[in-house]
């Protein structure tokens, strides 16, 4: 009976949280990785029945717990991936006998924590044909014959990007055209819905965002390819699933992903939506489920509607829920939950913002933000349900009133001062903190300066995050 190589790697060394942590982790990785890879190869070669299943469960469990105890790091991430491969080859060789039930259960438990080797999605919807490049059919046929090994958005040779539809004068991303068709404001064709705040924004201000980040998608695609080259059972399954799609190429006995495979997932409209830029930029590469949970428009409510975080199915490259792509699910939920607000946004666009913007364009070059703010003020009054709307949107009188809503004048200053007064406690704390920070920084930098001695700089020149306030070198 063959002995598992991972049986020789225990116990793990304790990793010091401070000095030389990275070096220790790398040393641990160089010891563990070859052992796991050796065992994976043995299982694939010799079949599972050759091994002592109870011993395998014991070692697999120890390995799982030991890796879980490691600090979050690239090393841990690499080891988790190897364990996913290990579990994959074991799971694919389990038979239905009762003796295998505990091992099957252990594999499930590990996968719940470390994840699954991703599989192909059943469906990867692309933009409607009318928005695709005119030579798209020819292009994808060519792409199916081009091997991509390390694609990325910043790669020179294997640059992943949105494909576009070219007209006689300009080229537009196909995905953007498709999303516009779905989420354009019917009352104002220059605006579309942002899924970050249930409001309509000018088209030029909206970002096309991947709910599941593109880097994560590429990473999962590469893991799928790697697993195909490890496990022949998995390879055959994926070749069958991807049959005729032109996603894979075989060369010298190895499987590679095609340019088509990567480009189609990147351009999948089921994972894309519009966000206004101040939401899209900080979102960056966050895990989509965590982002949804933290975002006030989705939060716990959305996850509860799914039945909890664990209800999100992460077995495919793109996350799904009940067979539906997660972003599509989120979009549908968003429309149902914020239907009233979205309708109000459409109303504002049609009857208030747009007329005001047009009117203001002639007289105000100070920026759309101001006009938008003013338009909202009057719009809210209009929504109160009186007949002034029609007149308000076009009359000179209304324009004058709107134009003064944020003007620096005694009346507005009184309103603003009232707000500052109601926030006195919060603002007082901020001014206290920042002035102390400023004094502290000034004191350190201006040796011998005549500035008055600080009475309270010793205890709080840094906040909890350790960030200093008020230090502003020129």
Q: Report the run of H or E that residue 43 belongs to, with start and end.
A: helix 21-46
- Judged by CB under 8 A, the residue of 313, 335, 388, 394 near other proteins is 388
Mask: binding to other proteins, 144-173, rule CB under 8 A, as x and -? ------------------------------
CB of residue 433 vs other proteins: minimum separation in angstroms? 7
User: 223 and 118 in contact (C-beta within 8 Å)?
Assistant: yes
Q: Which residues pair with 462 in a beta bridge?
A: 468
Options 57-65, 235-243, 282-290, 378-386: segment touching other proteins (CB under 8 A): 378-386
Give the residue with the Cβ less far from other proteins, 11 or 367: 367
CA-nearest of 285, 160, 320 to 210 is: 285
CB of residue 346 vs other proteins: minimum separation in angstroms? 19
CB of residue 435 vs other proteins: minimum separation in angstroms? 4
- Judged by CB under 8 A, the residue of 93, 202, 405, 462 near other proteins is 405
- CB count in 10 Å sphere of residue 129: 9
Can you read off the two tokens belonging to residue 256? 């590679």
CA-nearest of 27, 28, 30, 59 to 43 is: 59
User: 83 and 28 in contact (C-beta within 8 Å)?
Assistant: no
Give the residue with the Cβ less far from other proteins, 10 or 373: 373
State the burial class of residue 333 (Cβ atoms within 10 Å of its Cβ: 0-12, 13-18, 19+).
Answer: middle
Instruction: Give the DSSP letter string of 229-291.
Output: TT-HHHHHHHHHHTTTS--EEEETTEEEEEHHHHHHHHT-GGGEEEE-HHHHHHHTT--HHHH
Cβ neighbors of 442 (< 8 A, separation 6 or more) are 449, 451
For helices 368-383 and 396-403, angle between their N-to-C axes, nearest 10 degrees: 120
Q: From residue 50, how far is each of 43, 233, 356 by CA, in Å?
A: 8, 18, 78
Options 26-34, 101-109, 161-169, 371-379: segment touching other proteins (CB under 8 A): 371-379
Within residues 415-454, the interface with other proteins by CB under 8 A covers: 415-420, 422-423, 426-428, 430-439, 442, 445-446, 450-454
Give the residue with the Cβ less far from other proteins, 125 or 277: 277
CB of residue 437 vs other proteins: minimum separation in angstroms? 6
Options 120-128, 235-243, 252-260, 381-389: segment touching other proteins (CB under 8 A): 381-389
SS3 127: coil
Give the residue with the Cβ less far from other proteins, 133 or 470: 470
Give the residue with the Cβ less far from other proteins, 233 or 381: 381
DSSP state of 121: -
Give yes or no for residue 373 binding other proteins (CB under 8 A): yes
Give the residue with the Cβ less far from other proteins, 267 or 276: 276
Give the residue with the Cβ less far from other proteins, 123 or 423: 423
Options 53-61, 70-78, 244-252, 367-375: segment touching other proteins (CB under 8 A): 367-375
Mask: binding to other proteins, 108-147, rule CB under 8 A, as x and -? ----------------------------------------
CB of residue 379 vs other proteins: minimum separation in angstroms? 9
State the burial class of residue 168 (Cβ atoms within 10 Å of its Cβ: 0-12, 13-18, 19+).
Answer: exposed
Options 99-107, 222-230, 302-310, 464-472: segment touching other proteins (CB under 8 A): 464-472
Count of residues that interact with other proteins, criterion CB under 8 A: 59
CB of residue 368 vs other proteins: minimum separation in angstroms? 10
Q: Where are the alpha helices (H) located in 295-423, listed in sequence order?
A: 299-306, 326-337, 339-348, 354-361, 368-383, 388-392, 396-403, 410-422
Cα-to-chain-centroid distance, residue 18: 31
- How many residues belong to the chain? 474
Give yes or no for residue 412 binding other proteins (CB under 8 A): yes
Give yes or no for residue 297 binding other proteins (CB under 8 A): no
DSSP state of 397: H
- Judged by CB under 8 A, the residue of 204, 244, 369, 466 near other proteins is 369
Binding residues for other proteins, rule: CB under 8 A, are 366-367, 369-370, 373, 376-378, 380-382, 384-386, 388, 392, 405-408, 412-413, 415-420, 422-423, 426-428, 430-439, 442, 445-446, 450-456, 469-474
């Amino acid at each position: 009976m063959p002995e598992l190589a991972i049986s020789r790697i225990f116990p793990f060394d304790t990793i010091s949280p401070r000095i030389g942590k990275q070096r220790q982790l790398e040393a641990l990785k160089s010891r563990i990785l070859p052992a796991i890879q050796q065992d994976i190869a043995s299982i694939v070669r010799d079949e599972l029945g050759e091994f002592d299943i109870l011993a395998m469960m014991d070692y697999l469990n120890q390995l799982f717990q030991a890796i879980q105890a490691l600090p979050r790091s690239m090393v841990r991430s690499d080891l988790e991936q190897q364990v996913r491969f290990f579990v994959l080859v074991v799971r694919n060789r389990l038979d239905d006998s009762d003796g295998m039930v505990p091992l099957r259960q252990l594999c499930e438990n590990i996968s719940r924590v470390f994840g699954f080797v991703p599989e192909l999605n059943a469906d990867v919807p692309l933009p409607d044909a009318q928005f695709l490049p005119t030579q798209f059919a020819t292009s994808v046929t060519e792409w199916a014959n081009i091997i991509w090994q390390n694609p990325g958005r910043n790669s020179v040779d294997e640059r992943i990007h949105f494909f576009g539809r070219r007209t006689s004068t300009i080229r537009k991303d196909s995905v953007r055209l498709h999303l516009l068709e779905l989420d354009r404001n019917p009352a104002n064709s220059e605006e579309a819905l942002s899924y970050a705040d249930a409001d309509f924004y000018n088209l030029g201000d909206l970002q096309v965002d991947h709910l599941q980040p593109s880097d994560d998608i590429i990473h999962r695609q590469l893991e799928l390819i790697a697993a195909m080259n490890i496990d022949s059972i998995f390879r055959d399954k994926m070749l069958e699933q991807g049959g005729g799609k032109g996603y894979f190429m075989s060369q010298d006995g190895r499987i590679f992903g095609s340019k088509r495979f990567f480009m189609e997932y990147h351009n999948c409209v089921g994972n894309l939506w519009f966000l206004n830029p101040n939401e899209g930029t900080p979102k960056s590469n966050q895990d989509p489920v965590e982002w949804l949970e933290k975002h006030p428009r989705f939060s716990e409510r959305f996850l509860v509607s799914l039945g909890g975080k664990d209800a999100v199915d992460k077995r495919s490259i793109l996350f799904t829920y009940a067979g539906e792509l997660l972003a599509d699910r989120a979009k549908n939920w968003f429309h149902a939950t914020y239907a009233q607000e979205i309708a109000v946004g459409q109303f504002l666009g049609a009857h208030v913002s747009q007329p005001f913007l047009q009117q203001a364009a002639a007289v105000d070059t100070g920026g759309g933000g101001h006009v938008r703010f003013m338009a909202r003020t009057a719009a809210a009054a209009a929504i109160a349900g009186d007949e002034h709307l029609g007149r308000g949107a076009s009359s000179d009188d209304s324009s004058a009133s709107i134009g003064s809503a944020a003007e620096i004048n005694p009346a507005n200053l009184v309103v603003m001062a009232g707000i500052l007064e109601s926030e006195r406690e919060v603002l007082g704390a901020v001014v206290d903190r920042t002035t102390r920070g400023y004094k502290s920084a000034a004191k350190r930098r201006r040796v011998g300066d005549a500035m008055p001695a600080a009475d309270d700089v010793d205890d709080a020149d840094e906040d909890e995050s350790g960030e200093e306030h008020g230090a502003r070198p020129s």
